[in-house]
Structures are given as C-alpha cells and as structure tokens.
Structure 1
Amino acid sequence: MKKNERAGHRAKKSLGQNFLQDDNICGKIVDAIFPEADDHIIEIGPGQGALTRYLAETPCRLTVIEKDDGLADRLEAEYPGLEILRRDALEFPWATLDGPCKIIGNLPYNIGSKLIWDIVSSVRGLQRAVFMVQHEVAMRLTAKSGNKTYGGLTAWVRNFAETKYLFKVPPTVFRPRPKVDSAVVAFVPLSANRRPEDPERLSLLIKTLFQQRRKQVSTILRKQWTPEVAAWFEENAVDTRIRPENLTPEQFRSLSQRL
C-alpha cells in the first residue's frame, strides 16, 4: 500500500492515533526488537502499517493487535495470512499468552503507561519489548531513584524489567503531528529470582506511597508501622524520613514483603 493510499484513513483522536511516516525511524525501531527466525513478535496498534511493513519482511511469526476495524481491513488486504486480533490492547488478557514472545508498538499517549504496567508484569514469556511513548513517559521509565521524574511507574516496571532509553522522535515525523516529542524505550525482563513474589502487595505499596509523594515514608506508613517494618529500615540503613522517590525499585520490593 502506497503512502498516499494510507493517508486516506482519517486519524481518530479518540484512539490517540498519530501515524508514523518516517521510514528511517521505522527501521530503527524494528531493528531494536532484534527480530530472529524463531521469534513470535506481537505488534500493538499497527495503524497504517508503518512498522508492520518492516516486521513482515523478517522471518518471524507476526501477530498484530488493532482495535480500529478500518485499519485492520487494510492490513488484512495488504498482508494476506497476517494474524490480526481485532481488539483493544487494554483489554487483552496478557497473562494468557502462551510461549516466548517479543512485543513492539507505537503506543497511543493516553494508554501507554497503563499498557506497559500490565505487559511487563503479566507476560511471563516476554523476551524483549520496544515501545515508542511520549518523551516524558520515556524519561520516567528510565529514571533513577532520587530523580524528580522517578515515580510509581518507574518503581513498578523496574521490578520486572531493565529499561533503556534508545532515541528521541520529533513530532514532525507523524501525521497528524502531536504537540510533544516521543521516544523509544527497550525493555529486557528480569530473571525470575529478581521479580516480586507478591506483585499485588508491591503494587499497593507503590500506589500508597506515591499518592503522597511529598510526605516522608514513615508518615505515609504510620498506620502500618510495625516492629518488622521499623526493623527493615534499620537493617537496610534507610532513613525513615526519606520521600518515596528516594527508594530504589529493589527497596520497594523488599519493603513490600515486610508490610
């Protein structure tokens, strides 16, 4: 399908559609997933097929998840035999994915953080992921503790995967143009022994602390303060007066096991 034919689809603001137009950037994103012959690659929100075109040229098995029926119809016509799941990625049962896979996508700004939160923690067979997100989100995903951009999303994701900021993408390469920069981030899952034993408990702690991120940790946890919790701070030489952003992802995981 030629570019002028793709342009016939009107972007839907309700779905956060901004279509990537730059071939060089598309190639770089696909290269970052390291496609290999035995891979099962899942693309989220292929849209007009900017990344799909490059992925289809690799020897991997390709599945795409597209909510927009009009775009799914175009992809089906252009790539006969392509496995297309016509559904909302936010409602996809990520935990049910069977076997190893890699996941890639230009994620809509309004759902990117939620999708990443779910995917890194739910997809047991995840080998690698590469997502383009709003630049601000990319900075949060790759921030270090103690940095103002470090937040609940950072602490959660980094308990399941290592993150790497790859490169910035300007608004000029999209149609329609977003008002902010984007960036591409790579995710490499942690080994099983480095992942949280009780994700629900970790999630609760992260949300509790970052809902009051300006307060001291001991103040926020006043109602849960037990001798075991106090001992954790002493054993780990952590000042009880610190704020949530100063706890590392590993400390969040460890503390959640004491609460």
Structure 2
Amino acid sequence: MAELTPLKDVVSRFGLDARKALGQHFLLDETVCARIARLPGDLAGRHVLEVGPGPGGLTRALLAAPIAHLTAVELDQRALAALAELDEAYPGRLTVLRQDAMKFDGTTLPAPRQVVANLPYNVGTPLLIGWLREAGSWERMTLMFQEEVALRIVAPPRTEHYGRLAVLAQWVAHCSIGIRLPPGAFRPPPKVHSAVVIVTPHAEQPEPALFRAMERVTAAAFGQRRKMLRGSLKSLGAAEALLAQCGIAGERRAEELTVAEFDSLAKAVHARLDDGGGPIQDAPE
C-alpha cells in the first residue's frame, strides 16, 4: 500500500475548511480514529457504512481493519477528491457516494452490516431515529454525537436527559457510551464535548406499525413532559382507559416511566389499530 498523505496536509491540499452549514468538525488524530474503529469489536467480514467521512481520518482506520467493504456517504464535493486517494490505496474495498445520507438506504448493503461514523452534528439525531426504525437490519451502530445528544440516548428514567430519544433507542437496542472526546480533538474545535455511542440492536425487534405507535406515544408523553400522563396522552384518545389498561397511574409523568412501561403503552395503542380504532400517524421528529 502506498504511503498516504498526512491528514492535516489533506485538509490544506483540498481546501477542506470545515463548514458549519454541513455540521462539520473533522477528527484528524489518527490514534483517536483507531480507538473508535476498535469500539465495534471484530469487524472481519462486515460491510460498514460511514456517514460524513470528510478528509478520511476514521475512513483510514476502518480500512485498516479486516472489513469486507466500506461504503462512505459524503455530501461535500471537496471531500470526494480527498477520499479518492484512499480508494486507490485500498482497491476494491471502498465505495464513496456523493449523496444525502438522510436519503440513503443502508439496508441495501450486504449483511452483516454495521454503521461506524462521526456524524455531522446537524443530522445526527434524525439519522439515528431512521436507523432505529430498522434496527434489526444492523449488527451494530458506533456513532459520534455531541455529548448532550449521547447522554440523551443512554439516559435512565428520572434523570435530566431521559426523554423520547432514550426510550426509542433503549427499546430496540442496548446503548452505551464508548468514548468521550474534548473539543480540542476536532478541527475546528466545537463548543461542546462529543461522545461515541455504541448501539447494539436486540435480537427481537418490533414490527414497523408498533414502532410507529411507540413514536406516537413518546411524542405525546414528552411533548408535554411537565403534565401528568392523563393530560399529556389525551391526544391518543381515552388516555385514562389506556393508562389503566397498562397499570400506570395517570398522575405520573413521562420521565418517571421505564422503557418497559412505554412498551406496554405502545402495544396498547397498536392494538387499537388492529381493532379498527383509527390509523396511527407518524410522530414528528
């Protein structure tokens, strides 16, 4: 393999100044990139999706692992030329697509498949929710977020960060923080710390209609989180009866409920659909 251009030189050579509009903060420390690439465990034979590779720091670390193939989705035209050097250095192991990651269907990649990415800050959460909807299609997701978002994913009930994102994520996967990084690890340094979350989907996954029911329940419950559940769940219809059916007191608030209790509520709402009780619409992001 030919010697690669140092990452700092890649940024300079291709004019890859990070752009706020694209949520870019580049990770150029190759030691840190290697640590992140080890977090998913053994990647031998895996087809890996990376979103927002930028100058390719994490891309290099992933290609150094025994993966079957890496697909990198990048919207920034400037980065494509920088990544071309990696394509030449690792022939047949890298596919770079200039595409909006929000519109890319990663389940088209061969299995077993994983996501490993330093996600652009401005689309990290909606990307995660999209992957959670099809969590059974992924072996694991190793994802960099702003630390506050990472804490919202792994938070337990009755804590400051517990909310809709925690329930959705922990309902379908085991979630943990693998590494925390200070602003100085990035160029340019963001104003906040970052963290990598390891999301390992459960063996059993809800069907799409049940996931939509959970989205609707959590949107209602946390949309008015200061209200008691008997009030915040009114939009679902017959909130008191719904709560009684699940053995949940109407005086409780959303942040007090466990993921298992939200599971009961989602299943009850889903059953209404099966009984002809009206369509369940997608909840807003």
Residue 42 of structure 1 corresponds to 49
Tell me which amino acid in the other structure corresponds to 2:220. Answer: T
Residue 64 of structure 1 corresponds to 72
Q: Please give the root-mean-square deviation of Cα atoms over the aligned residues, in Å.
A: 1.9
Displacement of 1:166 after TM fit?
Answer: 1.5
Moved over 3 A (4+): 94-98, 193-197
Residue 252 of structure 2 corresponds to 242
User: What is the CA deviation profile of residues 28-49 of structure 1, one whole-angstrom value per residue up to 9, with x for unaligned ones?
Assistant: 1000022432111111111111
Displacement of 1:156 after TM fit?
Answer: 0.9
Displacement of 1:124 after TM fit?
Answer: 3.2
Residue 33 of structure 1 corresponds to 40
Change (3 A) 1:98 1:203: farther
Tell me which amino acid in the other structure corresponds to 2:171. Answer: N
Tell me which amino acid in the other structure corresponds to 1:249. Answer: V
Residue 5 of structure 1 corresponds to 9
Equivalent residue for 2:81, pick from 62, 73, 78: 73
Displacement of 1:62 after TM fit?
Answer: 1.2
Displacement of 1:228 after TM fit?
Answer: 4.9
Decide whether the 8 Å contact of 2:176 with 2:199 is kept in 1: yes
| Structure 2 residue ranges without an equivalent (≥5) | 270-285
Displacement of 1:250 after TM fit?
Answer: 2.1
Change (3 A) 1:216 1:94: farther
3-state SS, counterpart of residue 175 of structure 2: strand
TM-score by length of 2: 0.84
3-state SS, counterpart of residue 34 of structure 1: coil
Tell me which amino acid in the other structure corresponds to 1:121. Answer: R
Residue 252 of structure 1 corresponds to 262
Decide whether the 8 Å contact of 1:228 with 1:258 is kept in 2: no
3-state SS, counterpart of residue 209 of structure 1: helix
| Structure 1 residue ranges without an equivalent (≥5) | none
Equivalent residue for 1:229, pick from 238, 242, 247: 242
User: What is the CA deviation profile of residues 123-157 of structure 1, one whole-angstrom value per residue up to 9, with x for unaligned ones?
Assistant: 53200111111010111111001112101111111
Tell me which amino acid in the other structure corresponds to 2:8. Answer: N
Displacement of 1:233 after TM fit?
Answer: 3.6
Decide whether the 8 Å contact of 2:230 with 2:250 is kept in 1: yes
3-state SS, counterpart of residue 242 of structure 1: coil
TM-score by length of 1: 0.92
> Identity, % of aligned pairs?
32
Alignment: residue pair count? 256
Residue 220 of structure 2 corresponds to 208
CA distance in 2, matches of 1:195, 1:189: 14
